[in-house]
Amino acid sequence: MKNKDTEKYIHQLISSTMHDVLMDVELKQDNSGINMSYNFIGNYVGFDIHRLQEASAKMQIPISLESYIKIITIHELGHAIDRDALLASLSRTLEIYNTKKSHSLYELYNNVDLLAMLIEEHEMNIIFEQTAWENAKILNNKFQIVDERSFEAVKAHSLSTYLNLYKEDLHLYEELVPSQSVRIA
């Protein structure tokens, strides 16, 4: 497929998947490097054509590009279903964002309080991701978008990214806590 044909195909595939599950969320193409994301403030789904193709090709279990895109689409719609909870987290999310912006990576990973904040952010993200996957599973079961095997493979692959980053930072935190603890005699 030519580049423009591919763009049109992927855009149409995402739109038709949204239509199939009776959800109307604005769709925006971007070049963010993130395959697909839900912007809960603007209430839209963004997608990067090239990253979608790359991410699909990196799946350990072979899954068609079409199935991959449908699965990621209903996952992002799972976030849209959870929009109220995402909006409720906005003030804390902004606090964490601003704190991260005002400290170096060294400071973030060598100060127990700042690292605890990163752990909290991971935990929030994991809960939101798991909720979005639960919502996507409900959509998939109701509307029969893709086969369960493919759905579960993409879900496991996607969640592993969040869980692995969390485990890495948690390990660093557990190593840092004893070195920064003050012993009271």
Specify if 116 maps to a domain.
yes
What is the number of domains present in the chain?
1
Q: Which pTM value belongs to this model?
A: 0.93
Q: Domain range holding 138? A: 3-180
Is pLDDT at 183 greater than 70 in this prediction?
no
Specify if 185 maps to a domain.
no
What pLDDT score does 184 carry? 47
Specify if 157 maps to a domain.
yes
Rounded to whole angstroms, what are the CA distances from 167 to 37, 107, 119, 126, 142?
A: 23, 19, 9, 11, 34
pLDDT (tens digit, 9 = 90+) per residue, 5-29? 999 999 999 999 999 999 999 999 9
Rounded to whole angstroms, what are the CA distances from 165 to 6, 76, 126, 159, 168?
A: 32, 20, 10, 10, 5
pLDDT band at 178 (very low <50, low <70, confident <90, very high): confident
